[in-house]
Amino acid sequence: MLDERAVTAAIGSTAYDANGQEIGTVEHFYVDDRTGEPSWVAVTTGLFGTRQSVVPALDATFTEGALRLPVAADAVRNSPPLGGAHLTPDDEAQLRRHYAGGAATPGEPSAAGRHAAGPDDGAMTHDGAMTRSEERLVVGTERIPTTRARLVKYVVTEEVQITVPVRREEVRLEQVPIDAPADPGRGESLVAEGPSAPGTPAGLPEEVVLHAERPVVTVEVEAIERVRIRTEVVPGQETVTGQVQRERITVDEDPGPRRT
């Protein structure tokens, strides 16, 4: 038997017969006035959904968004033209005789009959009270892969400036008194002094070769650090939004006969 949630969810879904053939669209259920059990279901059939047929619902199942009824589609299309907001015991007897050769039909008709139950109706209990249900969001989390990370090395070229001290040789004219000591030599040099040119008087060279230092740049590779991958959990918050349905209970009053 269908529970309250299945009855509510089945309204507006597609109904299929026992062989999987489409019958029509579920309009509403007829529940027992005393027990609240869904005994019959109204299904709109026909080319444009203009005909309403009443089908046994005690052994119906609601799975994957569809209502499965234990009757044949032909039997539904040929059912008595009954419906409305209420089924009388005579209506049920007529329907029972029609479906007698098919699958199981509801039990003995209730003296109070059946009334139509839509998505806003609840299950009627024996003490006259009605159970109201509502949906709620159940939120959880799941782990899903988002990114694959791997180590990749690449070369970055950048300009580097380094100040390097350099020296150079310069020639300076030095005047000394006559009685000054002998020439101490050619002075400072960046290179080791070699032998004087042939025929050059000592201390008076014909020319002097000057030297200078210049930067020499070379590049060498050295290991500077080790890099490895580690993961860490970063907490965060996300807001989820969903739709829920809740049942409301109202009093449906039928006006009595008016006196004239």
**In this predicted model, what pLDDT tens digit does every residue of 89-142 receive, in sequence order?**
888 888 989 988 644 444 444 444 555 665 544 444 544 566 777 888 888 888
Domain holding 91, by residue range, is 4-118
The total number of structural domains that make up the chain: 1
Q: What is the pLDDT of residue 204?
A: 58
Kindly report the CATH number assigned to the domain that includes residue 70. Answer: 3.90.50.10
Assigned domain for 154 exists: no
Assigned domain for 216 exists: no
pLDDT in tens, 143-162: 889 888 899 999 999 999 99
Residue labelled with tokens 């290991």: 223
Assigned domain for 65 exists: yes
pTM of the full predicted structure? 0.42
Assigned domain for 33 exists: yes
The partner residues of 124 in beta bridges, in order of sequence, read 130
CA distances to 31, 33, 39 from 113, in Å? 9, 6, 10
10 Å CB burial of residue 41 (0-12, 13-18, 19+) is buried
Residue labelled with tokens 């070769």: 209
| Cβ within 8 Å of residue 130, ≥6 positions away | 36, 122, 123, 124, 249
Q: What length does the chain have?
A: 260
Structure tokens at 30: 């007829």
